[in-house]
Chain A
Amino acid sequence: MVTPSPRPGRLDEVSTEVATPSASSVFAPRSRSGVALRVTPVDEVGLEARAKTFTTRSIKTTSKRAAIHLAISCIDLTTLEGMDTPGKVAALCRKAVRPDPTDAAIPPVAAVCVYPQMVPVAVKYTAGTPVGVASVAGAFPSGQSSLSVRIADIEQAVADGASEIDIVISRGAFLSGDYHYVFNEIEAQKAACGRAHLKVILETGELGSFDQIRKASMLAMAAGADFIKTSTGKVANNSSMPVALCMAEAIRDYAEQTGEVVGLKVAGGIRTAKQAWHYLVLIGETLGADWLTPNRFRIGASSLLNDLLLQLQKLDTGRYSGPNYVSVD
């Protein structure tokens, strides 16, 4: 037993783990630095109860503006549609750089997230700004192509100028227990990324249980993920508070065991400012304030930005605002 190091968060935190080590001998990943990882089972009831408590914090008006600015700066402003055009991506990039043309105090978002085909357009319109270009790659969203095709996809996106790459794990292989295969695939794709950051999408809606999500998180981090990400946004079950908490705890435990820092990206179904600051609270109370930066936390979203801007308008004017007062994306 390793003595747990002090954790950030509230004193009345509900423990969401069972202390016994995993019975699985097949699944025994090692970190990049060679530390054998303990993957403990998840207490599902405790996890869900704990996740629920994050939604009950009262964010006072004085903190609201800071929370909204922080949430905006953590957004990966996303458009992943078959009907994306260069014009739409250009408009998205302009909005990413300057979310509200009337208010220069609002920070730019962290990155725009597009399909590989749109990377050159995004690079062109974000050049010289702090906004990064993230590209989904590797046969997103299914991942059902041969590894060589997926690696070529990643290399092309990186060559076109993407600074971040979002890939999916092979859920089929993971669910059938072929962990080595999944591990080696992620490692190979990490190598193909070169200097670009790698975000590994677990597609938690397809993994079946929190134990599996925790296992997949550990596997992805050990294989070299810079970020682990909840979902593609293309299936029915997207990011939820319990899923994000499960992954955040995996990140925390991984950092405790290895000293390595991995980021978290939540994606799919996050549309309102309220949801965004629930996630900020979750991160703050699970991983600590160190993780409340775009380098370690991202929110993949599109319509969320407009809702955050509407909340800022409410703070500025004292009047409730509506969708007619922000741009149509």
Chain B
Amino acid sequence: MAERLDVQKTYKLFIGGAFPRSESGRTFALVGTDGSLIANVAQASRKDLRDAVVAARSAQAGWAARTAYNRGQILYRVAEVMEGRRTQFVEELRRCGVEASAARQEVERAIDRWVWYAGWCDKFHHLAGTVNSVAGPYFNFTMPEPTGVVGILTPDAPGLLGLVSRLAPALVSGNTAVVLTGQASPLTAVSMAEVVATSDVPGGVVNILTGETHDLLPWLLGHRDVNAVDLTGASPDLEASVVAEAAENVKRLIRGEPDDQSPYVIADFCEMKTVWHPVGR
């Protein structure tokens, strides 16, 4: 019997629930530790970024309007679907040079992290919100609300766990995300997109762009329809002039840890809104 031909996967972008190639037609070569070509991966352009922000904006109100409990169910579903693809994720990490036991551990921790944040969806309001005592006949509440469209620059390492650690807390409160992931670990990022696409997450809530983040970052930071940018994955010596772009529409800038699990990360992606209400008699 003839040997079966390889069926190679095309690694594409994830925008608005679909998997397009880059509008620019560009790709970059992902090379394994042994120097062999693993895949040609789509390289996002600024127009792909623009399309992703439009998709994220149109999905944001609907995602935030779902009940917190429903968002939790959906994020838990992401973990369930990812669990069924464990071996694939481990394999992809290994192809990018992560050792077998470390890869297995990273995948398991990433799945657990989705579960952990899914649980917080209908609970973190109680922790982050407060009832404030004020000197007057008023009830005074501070409540966390989603910031809106969030851009996330994922850390290069750990590739998969870093992506989940930054993406999941952003989704908990009702933000939608445009994720820029660099050239270090695009395989798991694209597979993560496939998991999201098959987990009842509405199209546009998560958008994942692979490519040269240094090219895209100024456009993301300058985009007037993006409300916050997570720079956890950016190099610490990022030029001040690039970061200053974010000031134009007063974006929230977030710098966290690549591997972190805390309800305070959820709060980082929120706006705190305070309400005064007269006390009735």
Task: Please list the residues of chain A having a beta carbon within 8 angstroms of any beta carbon in chain B.
Answer: 313, 317-325
State the Cβ distance, A306 to closest chain B Cβ, in Å: 13
Of residues 19 through 74 on chain B, the ones whose CB sits less than 8 Å from some CB of chain A are 50, 53, 57
Query: Which 3 residue pairs across A and B have the least CB separation, nearest first?
Result: A322-B225, A319-B222, A320-B223
Residues of B within 8 A of A325 (CB): 224-225
Of residues 223 through 280 on chain B, the ones whose CB sits less than 8 Å from some CB of chain A are 223-225, 245, 248
| B219 close to chain A: CB less than 8 A | yes
Bound CA–CA A270/B225 (angstroms) = 22
Residues of A within 8 A of B248 (CB): 319
Q: Quick one: which of A313, A318, A319, A323 contacts B57, CB cutoff 8 A?
A: A323
Bound CA–CA A319/B53 (angstroms) = 13
**Interchain CB contact under 8 A, B224 and A322:** yes
Bound CA–CA A323/B227 (angstroms) = 13
Residues of B within 8 A of A320 (CB): 50, 53, 219, 222-225
Bound CA–CA A325/B225 (angstroms) = 9
**Interchain CB contact under 8 A, A321 and B222:** no
Of residues 86 through 133 on chain B, the ones whose CB sits less than 8 Å from some CB of chain A are none
Bound CA–CA A325/B248 (angstroms) = 13
**Interchain CB contact under 8 A, A322 and B50:** no
17 A–B contact pairs at CB < 8 A?
A: A313-B224, A317-B224, A318-B222, A319-B222, A319-B223, A319-B248, A320-B50, A320-B53, A320-B222, A320-B223, A320-B224, A321-B224, A322-B53, A322-B224, A323-B57, A323-B225, A324-B225
State the Cβ distance, A245 to closest chain B Cβ, in Å: 25
Residues of A within 8 A of B223 (CB): 319-320, 322
Residues of A within 8 A of B53 (CB): 320, 322
State the Cβ distance, B228 to closest chain A Cβ, in Å: 14
Residues of A within 8 A of B222 (CB): 318-320
State the Cβ distance, B246 to closest chain A Cβ, in Å: 11
Bound CA–CA A248/B248 (angstroms) = 44
**Which residue of B53, B223, B225, B248 has the most chain A CB atoms within 10 A of its CB atom?**
B225
Bound CA–CA A325/B57 (angstroms) = 13
Bound CA–CA A221/B157 (angstroms) = 67
Bound CA–CA A323/B224 (angstroms) = 9
Bound CA–CA A317/B50 (angstroms) = 15
State the Cβ distance, B155 to closest chain A Cβ, in Å: 25
**Which residue of B53, B224, B245, B248 has the most chain A CB atoms within 10 A of its CB atom?**
B224
Bound CA–CA A323/B60 (angstroms) = 13
State the Cβ distance, A142 to closest chain B Cβ, in Å: 32
Bound CA–CA A324/B250 (angstroms) = 14
Bound CA–CA A42/B89 (angstroms) = 54
* Nearest A-chain residue to B220, judged by Cβ: A320
Residues of B within 8 A of A323 (CB): 57, 225
Residues of A within 8 A of B50 (CB): 320
Chain B positions 188 through 223: 1 when the CB is less than 8 Å from some CB of chain A, otherwise 0:
000000000000000000000000000000010011
* Nearest A-chain residue to B222, judged by Cβ: A319
**Interchain CB contact under 8 A, B219 and A322:** no
**Which residue of A319, A320, A321, A323 has the most chain B CB atoms within 10 A of its CB atom?**
A320
Residues of B within 8 A of A319 (CB): 222-224, 245, 248
Residues of A within 8 A of B219 (CB): 320
State the Cβ distance, A50 to closest chain B Cβ, in Å: 24
Residues of B within 8 A of A324 (CB): 224-225
Residues of B within 8 A of A317 (CB): 224
State the Cβ distance, A320 to closest chain B Cβ, in Å: 5
